[in-house]
Structure 1
Amino acid sequence: MKRTPFLAAGGIALLVASPAVAGARKSITPYIELGQVLTADLQSGDVLTYSTASAGVDATISTRNVEVQLSYNYQHNFSWDKRYGDDDLHSGLARASVKVAPGVSIDGGALATRARSDIRGAAPAVPVGRQDNVTQLYSAYVGPTVATEVGPASLNASYRFGYTKVEAPGATGVAPGSPRLDNFDDSKTHLATASIGIGSGHGLPVGVTVSGQYERDDASQLKQRYEGKFGRGDVVVPVLPTLALTAGAGYEKIEVSQKDPALDGATGQPVVDANGRFVTNEASPRRIAYETDGLIYDAGLVWKPSPRTTLQARVGKRYGGMTYTGSLSYAASRSIGIQIAVYDSVDTFGRQLRDGIAALPSSFIDQRDAFSQQFSGCTFGQSNIAAGSCLNGVLQSISTASYRARGVDAVLSANRGPLSFGVGAGYANRKLYAPGGVGYTVYGVTDQSYYGQAYVSAHLDRNSGINGNLFVNYYESGLSNAPAVFSTGATASYYRNFGRVGTTLSAGLYNFSQDGFEDQTSGQAQVGVRYSF
């Protein structure tokens, strides 16, 4: 049974509440859409035709106290081929911030998209027919943020509750005899942070901040539990009008644990349910997948040569070794923005996805793509000071194990008159943590991926325009005999509006290959008509 996504319900609730704000500037456009699609397997020559019916809403509200953007689409595919059943797709992103009192806001975000389950498996781009290794996921977070002044000190605190749900993927396209990985089900996360700081010049030649954090993530698979907490102090030493040195130290404790899977008495292998998820052995003790307990420290610099440019870089010791993190935000002009982030953290899938959604721009460009799930890659911002961010690193595969996530994301976004374009690229590396010796283990296995994405949109006149998208991905698993996977694709579309009626003509070409398997290349064409209310 297909679930009704909470993305639409949460977004509609925000939209209903928002018009009460005096002077609200709002744009809310519900729509319905019909389409006819032809897809062809260019290897086998098979041709499949199907029809689509979809409904959705695009909404933006921007006032002094309210910032909301929502783009959501539900699509049902009607197959004309008895070999394939009908299918449902949910795609959407919501970002919201509502100021409820001076210094107090409620912030939230939600995502619905499709993503690959197993990094070793298939990487199809066509959302119909054989959909090995693709699953629907939903994720959302919400919570209050407080920022206030207490004398010369700045006080900040926040709480976030997050929830992530993933449907079972079915077949993964992994070679027979490969080690079985369990399928993520759902998780709940709690994150509480607080800090108090005094800037330089208030009785001290340096800025001083004391902060603390507590976080917990409970996943249903094998009752995995992440619990982490830290407290630390940081100082910022101005050395030039545009340059400051920073250093910090503190204490951190992280523990990730889970129970054993139930084992088959005859084979000694883990027992799985109908959805391919491991059945938990409720009588087993908790086993440690990862733990660290001790001193953390780092040092770095903050360089801000102009209001348009900020560079931060840090190096230190954490997670039992060296860590390197940094970021660059550069508004190259009024219409061009660049953002780069280097990250290093011990994470779980639910926590990293929650943080990834929160890092997406609150004012984003809706790249309408008739064929693929646009929000599973890079999302580009409409502002030069918020160029965008990418979810490719967390969605390279859906990991049930905890892991150390390291990588880099870079995004460029440009908007000028009738033309907008964006480019995103990155690298992601995961070192997996799980208890060993009980039926299965992925401990120490390292996965990695490289990815790139580009889009362009141009208005030809007030009623018509063209869009283009290009993506490329490379996935590599550290599991023995796992094939490398390469996928690429390109789409183009032309649209023309006639009042409330809009028409679209789209085409796409896709390819993915797995070492040891035959390449899969496919093409698509679609004609669609939309009515906006």
Structure 2
Amino acid sequence: MARFSSRRGAQSALYGAVALLALHGAPALAQQLDYGNVVDASGGSATGGDAGAKGRGGHSIRSAGGGARTTIQPYLEVSQNLLAELKPGDDVLTYTAIAAGVDVALNGRNTQGAVSFRYERRITEKGNTANGDTISGLARVKHDLIPRTLSVEAGGLATRTRVDATGAGSLNPVATSSATTQIYSAYAGPALATHVGDVAVNGSYMVGYTKVDTKNGVTAVAGQPSSNIFDHSLSQSAQLSAGVRPGVIAPVGVTASGRYAQEDISNLDQRYRELNAGVQVTLPVTQDLALVGDVGYQDVQVSARDAVYDVNGVPVIGSNGRFVTDKSKPRAIAYDFSGLSWDAGVMWRPSRRTSLSAFVGRRYDSTTYYGSFSYAPNARSALGISVYDGISGFGSSLGNALRDVPTDFEVGRDPFNGNISGCGIGSTGGGCVNGALASLSSSVFRARGVNATYGMTVGRLRAGIGAGYVRRKFIAARGTVLGLADGTVDESWYVDGSVSGRLDRRSSFAVAVYSAWYNSGSAGNAKSNAVGANASYFRNLTDRLVGSAAVGIDGFSRKAAPDELVASGRIALRYNF
């Protein structure tokens, strides 16, 4: 057997990845990849979308050690927008939008993170679209209380999405559509990584909250069961592991771990709870390759209450647009499994720029597959792929996606509504929240899927693409108002791409395209497709004043209603402080 300790750099990287897997004690839910900075050193941006309009404003603070920089970029923006409805009607709408926002990149000795926040007020001039406010943003911050030992992290998301009667969600909704809703999600918690002698100890606790701000929580398609749209939930997760490296007490590494996860969903008091405990063994094969096996115990339960029924046996809907929960009756069990679980696989880490993990096992009383691959051969390109499998609700699924956003992400925005792009691509990787936002159903589900991102820089150009697929099988208690959803399956696919770059010293451009497909198994196999593209041009009129122009087209098609197609145009002025 080759001695696994002969190259300590590769050994540390590989065993660190194994320890992280043991800490979670369950299949990874998404890739953990890095983005580039929100803004560059001059206050500009390497990404497309709204970020390309930053110009030379902003305030930069260099750390005492040199090199590290914190950049704060507040701005005000006013724009004139025109929307031409091509299908199903021919209305022409115009409105003025006034926006205020800030982009922050934190790159200090003990604090890393990025924040992008925007508030927009729409003032209608012509047409039937209503005045309204939109809040959008993405944040991810990590602070080391004790360097390399104790840290706290937090993240948040605010975005606007389309929600259909089937429960389907879609980022970048057609601007004239009234079927949109605001989504908020945030999480925070501490993480510990230390040693007690030769024993590595890792732990974390995270709490998250997610809210879907729609008033019509119970929707229906003619002839199909009602769809119950998610309201809000509180999710918690905790992990703890302790282990030793190969060669310390035996030729193999041994790690004991435990994990707890719970989500309490307001709709009918649904609750998902999972406990995992196990022992993981790591067998070095070469300096860069290890075989990993895990055996343990798993306890998973999904439960809910039924709705209140009127004298005619019809479920009662409350003032918040959701079913009224009958708290007088005990919980109904929708899913209950406890027993042995196991995983076996390989982890390969030949360098800090290449990593592969692949696992097969038995969880949730069925076969499971999961893994990841990341490859960043240089600072100009990066590829990431993740395969996942797990049970969760909408809130914890979105929270997991947020946790996987690195602390140095880049953000792109739709030029017509300021909404954040579903994918962000950076110099060393990328990630997407599109899959988590594809279904807004309140029911707990088992999700199996894959996400992939690729980004590259060639000269002044920056390009990126994200794609993914997710299959959800919903879990609900038979005999309750949610019972018709039990066992139904929906599927969603997405593709999100962009190209941006500088044309000269004072101007830049950005082009973005997206498409998302949704197939609802709970509504007669209803299908929908959102697709669109936009192009923007930015010009620095002064060091702080930026002018921009954009054109775009967005479409939405579904089986139960006429297709929608809208062309958009926009001119804007932005002042960077």
The reply to whether TM is greater than 0.5 is yes
Q: How does 1:86-485 map to 2 (within 5 A)?
A: 86-102=131-147, 103-118=149-164, 119=166, 125-126=172-173, 128-132=175-179, 134-168=180-214, 170=216, 175-266=221-312, 268-371=313-416, 374-375=419-420, 377-381=422-426, 383-384=427-428, 387-441=429-483, 442-485=485-528
Distance 1:62 1:305 in 2: 28
User: Closer, same or farther in 2 for the Cα pair 1:82/1:490, shift >3 Å?
Assistant: closer
Contact 1:251 1:296 in 2 (8 A): yes
User: Closer, same or farther in 2 for the Cα pair 1:156/1:325, shift >3 Å?
Assistant: same
Of 487, 498, 513, 2:557 maps to 513
Instruction: Please tell me whether residue 50 in structure 1 is matched to residue 95 in structure 2.
Output: yes
Contact 1:113 1:373 in 2 (8 A): no
Distance 1:55 1:172 in 2: 34
Distance 1:157 1:53 in 2: 45
Describe the SS at the equivalent of 2:81: strand
CA displacement at 1:368 relative to structure 2? 3.2
Amino acid at match of 1:200: P
Contact 1:380 1:389 in 2 (8 A): yes
Segment of structure 1 superposing worse, 115-124 or 349-358: 115-124
1:524 aligns to what? 568
Segment of structure 1 superposing worse, 213-222 or 62-71: 213-222
Of 519, 533, 554, 1:490 maps to 533
Contact 1:117 1:172 in 2 (8 A): no
CA displacement at 1:376 relative to structure 2? 5.6
Contact 2:461 2:499 in 1 (8 A): yes
Which blocks of at least 5 consecutive residues in structure 1 are unaligned? 1-17
Task: Give CA deviations for 1:19-65 in whole Å, capped at 9, x if unaligned.
Answer: 89755621101111101100011122111001101110011110121
Contact 2:104 2:114 in 1 (8 A): yes
1:10 aligns to what? none
User: Closer, same or farther in 2 for the Cα pair 1:307/1:124, shift >3 Å?
Assistant: closer
Contact 1:120 1:484 in 2 (8 A): no
CA displacement at 1:304 relative to structure 2? 2.1
Amino acid at match of 2:496: Q
User: Closer, same or farther in 2 for the Cα pair 1:176/1:81, shift >3 Å?
Assistant: farther
Task: Give CA deviations for 1:110-149 in whole Å, capped at 9, x if unaligned.
Answer: 10012243456685845643322x2101111111111111
Distance 1:520 1:84 in 2: 15
CA displacement at 1:352 relative to structure 2? 0.9
User: Closer, same or farther in 2 for the Cα pair 1:172/1:219, shift >3 Å?
Assistant: closer
CA RMSD across the alignment? 2.1
Distance 2:219 2:90 in 1: 20
CA displacement at 1:76 relative to structure 2? 1.1
CA displacement at 1:227 relative to structure 2? 1.7
1:15 aligns to what? none
Distance 1:163 1:99 in 2: 23
CA displacement at 1:380 relative to structure 2? 1.8
Distance 2:94 2:169 in 1: 22
Contact 2:299 2:339 in 1 (8 A): yes
Task: Give CA deviations for 1:319-352 in whole Å, capped at 9, x if unaligned.
Answer: 1100000100111322101110000001111111
Contact 2:218 2:321 in 1 (8 A): no
Amino acid at match of 1:159: Y
CA displacement at 1:224 relative to structure 2? 1.4
User: Closer, same or farther in 2 for the Cα pair 1:518/1:187, shift >3 Å?
Assistant: same
Distance 2:417 2:405 in 1: 19
Describe the SS at the equivalent of 2:416: coil
Distance 2:78 2:126 in 1: 19
Describe the SS at the equivalent of 2:503: strand
Amino acid at match of 2:191: T
Distance 1:210 1:313 in 2: 20
Distance 1:112 1:229 in 2: 30
User: Closer, same or farther in 2 for the Cα pair 1:265/1:455, shift >3 Å?
Assistant: same
Distance 2:418 2:219 in 1: 20
User: Closer, same or farther in 2 for the Cα pair 1:236/1:463, shift >3 Å?
Assistant: same
Segment of structure 1 superposing worse, 282-291 or 362-371: 362-371
Contact 1:67 1:97 in 2 (8 A): yes
Distance 1:310 1:260 in 2: 46
Task: Give CA deviations for 1:178-220 in whole Å, capped at 9, x if unaligned.
Answer: 3212222211112111111111121321111111011221121
Amino acid at match of 1:270: P
Q: How many residues align?
A: 511
Distance 1:327 1:443 in 2: 30
Contact 1:328 1:339 in 2 (8 A): yes
Contact 1:26 1:59 in 2 (8 A): yes
User: Closer, same or farther in 2 for the Cα pair 1:410/1:245, shift >3 Å?
Assistant: same
Distance 1:20 1:255 in 2: 50
